[in-house]
Amino acid sequence: MPKYPGLGLDLRYHDQINAAGKTDLYPMGIHHNCFGSTSEMLFIREVAMMTIMDRLSDKADFHIKVFDDAITNKWIEEALAQSVAQFLGDSGWDTQLMLKSVLDKACLNYCIKELRAKAQYFEKTGLIPTLDASASAVKSDTIVDESLHNALRIAFYRLEEDQKDNPDWHPRTSEMVQSLVHPSMYPLVYGRTRVFAEEVVGVEDAIDKWAGKGDVIPQLELEPTDKGFRPETGLAPVGGWHNVGVGGLGVHPSFWSPKYQWLPSNLKFQEDGTVKFTSYINNLHPIRYSDIYSTIEKLVEKSLPAWDLCLARYRDYELQGGGRTKPRFPHPSAPDDEEEANWSPPFAEVETPPREEGADSDEDYEEEDEFGRYFSGSRKDVHWYKTREPVQPEAPKFEAWDYGVKPGASLREMFDGLQIIVKMASIELGPGKPEFPPGGWHVEGQMNEHIVGTALYYLDSDNVTPSHLQFRMQTSVDQEDFEVGQNSFNWMEQVYGAELGAGGGDSCLQSYGSVETKEGRLLAFPNVFHHRVSHFGLEDETKTGHRRFIALWLVDPLTRIISTANVPPQQQSWWMERAFGNLGMDEAAKVPQAVAQLILEKAPGHSALEAAGKGLQDLPAELMDIVRSEFGDAVPMSLDEAKEHRLRLMDVRTAFQNEAREKWRQNDYSFCEH
């Protein structure tokens, strides 16, 4: 009999060891101790280069223009004219930088060479790797063809029309986000949801054959301490590290939810190259919207190459994937402040400023600048400290990355099928609500959802300003590769754009830049990226506007979780419509009064059943109580109950996300200890 985390296995079970005894997993960036989820520290220069390449690859026909020297020379001139502030605007850097420029011509020549390599890959695949260093995002404005784009727009229109009398405004969004399909409605609820241990629930038969059936999944109780670590001994738990957690130590139990889980749908790869849902999409009626199922299947097919490119598998402590997994710039060989070559001008070329009347001696001098930085030493030393500019690393020799998965390493080749969570939503703005606020930094899901990848398709934008998705990654607290003396890391602070000192160091978070979320764009990325949506608003505030998108979240193919194949549809309205939708008064009269009354207790509002249930009970009260007890929660979940669970689930996630953000902030650089 199959076992799943939370059903037959510990909720935090995550088998990280393959048959060869090697570490093998897809990373998640939920916690800083998750294996394979951290970025190397990136030079400001490299982040700026990634931003430039992303913006240039947004240009129409970039893959053709990038091979025209006259055009690329103009691009280089425009990039050189940008100020430091333009590069650092949304980066999150707040360190007082002494840089007078970020990029030089050599850096931009490197960018052109890389863009030419990416253009060649785009010609073959329709995909553009972007913001790629230790991890990679992927964008495409062409991979979803016009036919599929229109089919998705029709699907959204149809779902919105069916909701028009009672739109489902996502809670706490000021009625700006309309949920058309959302996994927080009718999720797996421990202690309430009925499940099967076997994957028996399909698509067409989901309601007719399975709704209301199964056994209630037991309520879980997580231990108050992390099961992945025994603090009294410092040893791994019984069974080894691979049995719980997702690598590392100290992942708190609150990062898993013992109460709720989003439900993925199962898909199977077909021999003709297509994919097919083998279990229903939660909250999308499998019969009424069967054509929308087919449309989403086509979008999954288009997303697979993007996931193949951006998802890196962590095998034997090394990331392996189709996209870039290492920065372009090597670690500096001599990052210490005492390395004179790190500064311009050299100390020998600095002239000692004249001593002001009554000032301290030339050899014992102290001064504080307008930024609160304190300097001491000789007068010449202090003048040099205040005026010198850090020498940034030179652009490395260009070496083209070998984009694309190796033979046998695609998702289609490695697995029989996938588990995917679907969300469809529309952000609706109007004269009374002209602005959509920026989102908070987050990763997708909690630990027990095992989400490792995202694919977003932006299918419709009308009368709204441009918006971007911002990205960042965690970096390691342990930066032992950098050999610097005590308090001798100011050069590093300047070229990496981070405060590194103990007690005041920045959080170990590396900015990666942002990607525009324009209409017609497919954007895919691994769940090691923290991300947030930027602010946007109406272009014309006298009219309405919207941005519509569909999200596909990929569950770790190495860890199968409870899905809609295990959980019959929980929507009471679906069950009632199928069981009693065509029930007239004559047929209802044949329903035993006790049965009618029991159904109405759980699902009121059916006029024919109400007529059948009127009058005195035809069973003694004691027997009625026994029947009611046996009947239990056989009737699926009502809309009101589902909405209550959605609010509770959101509370759980808010608490989790707040704790996760706090953990991300608490891990800070402390180079004073080097």
Q: Can you give the residue ranges of every domain in the chain?
A: 4-41+139-324+402-563+647-673, 346-387, 572-631
Give the per-residue pLDDT at 392: 94
Give the per-residue pLDDT at 169: 97
pLDDT at 369 over 90: no
Task: Extract the tokens encoding 399.
Answer: 């070496």
Q: How many Cα atoms are found within 13 Å in the side-chain-facing hemisphere of 49? A: 28
What strands lie across the sheet with 24-25, from one edge to the other?
A: 24-25, 312-315, 318-321
Task: Extract the tokens encoding 533.
Answer: 């949506």
Write the CB contacts of 108 (distance below 8 Å, at least 6 apart in sequence).
49, 52, 75, 76, 79, 80
- Angle between helix 593-602 and helix 621-631 axes, rounded to 10 deg: 50
Which of 358-372, 421-435, 466-480 bottoms out in mean pLDDT, i.e. has the lowest? 358-372
Give the per-residue pLDDT at 98: 79
CB 431 within 8 Å of CB 541:
yes
The answer to whether the Cα torsion of 580, 581, 587, 593 is positive or negative is: positive
Give the per-residue pLDDT at 376: 64
Give the per-residue pLDDT at 86: 73
Q: What percent of the chain has pLDDT over 90?
A: 62
pLDDT at 97 over 60: yes
Give the per-residue pLDDT at 91: 53
Per-residue pLDDT band for 383 (boundaries 50, 70, 90) equals confident
Give the per-residue pLDDT at 124: 98
Q: What is the pLDDT of residues 599-650, one digit of tens each?
A: 555 556 555 555 555 554 555 555 555 544 555 566 789 999 999 999 999 9
Q: What is the pLDDT of residues 167-183, one digit of tens each?
A: 999 999 999 999 999 99
Mean pLDDT for the chain overall: 86
Average pLDDT over residues 586-593: 56
Residue 422, SS3 per DSSP: strand
Give the per-residue pLDDT at 622: 55
Residue 48, SS3 per DSSP: helix
Give the per-residue pLDDT at 489: 85
Per-residue pLDDT band for 243 (boundaries 50, 70, 90) equals very low
Per-residue pLDDT band for 134 (boundaries 50, 70, 90) equals very high
Average pLDDT over residues 558-565: 97
pLDDT at 240 over 60: no
Q: What percent of the chain has pLDDT over 70?
A: 80
Closest CA to 47 of 494, 496, 512, 498: 512
Give the per-residue pLDDT at 505: 65
Average pLDDT over residues 277-289: 98
Q: How far is CA 674 from CA 447, 478, 479, 629, in A?
A: 33, 10, 9, 66
Distance, CA of 433 to CA of 546 (rounded, Å)? 11
pLDDT at 509 over 60: yes
Maximum pairwise Cα distance, the chain: 110
Give the per-residue pLDDT at 298: 99
Q: What is the pLDDT of residues 475-486, one digit of tens each?
A: 987 777 787 887
pLDDT at 244 over 50: no
Q: What is the pLDDT of residues 34-80, one digit of tens each?
A: 888 999 999 999 999 999 999 999 999 999 999 999 999 999 999 99
pLDDT at 555 over 60: yes
Give the per-residue pLDDT at 498: 83
Closest CA to 128 of 198, 62, 203, 35: 62
- Residue 277 identity: F
User: What letter would DSSP give residue 359?
Assistant: P
Distance, CA of 109 to CA of 364 (rounded, Å)? 46
Which of 113-122, 349-358, 516-525 bottoms out in mean pLDDT, i.e. has the lowest? 349-358
pTM of the entire predicted model = 0.89
Task: Extract the tokens encoding 459.
Answer: 């299918």
pLDDT at 424 over 90: yes
Average pLDDT over residues 154-165: 96
Distance, CA of 368 to CA of 345 (rounded, Å)? 21
Per-residue pLDDT band for 231 (boundaries 50, 70, 90) equals very low
Distance, CA of 414 to CA of 369 (rounded, Å)? 59
**Residue 594 burial (C-beta neighbours within 10 Å; 0-12, 13-18, 19+):** middle
Average pLDDT over residues 309-327: 94
Give the per-residue pLDDT at 175: 95
Termini Cα distance of the chain: 52
Per-residue pLDDT band for 372 (boundaries 50, 70, 90) equals low
Closest CA to 428 of 129, 57, 637, 163: 163
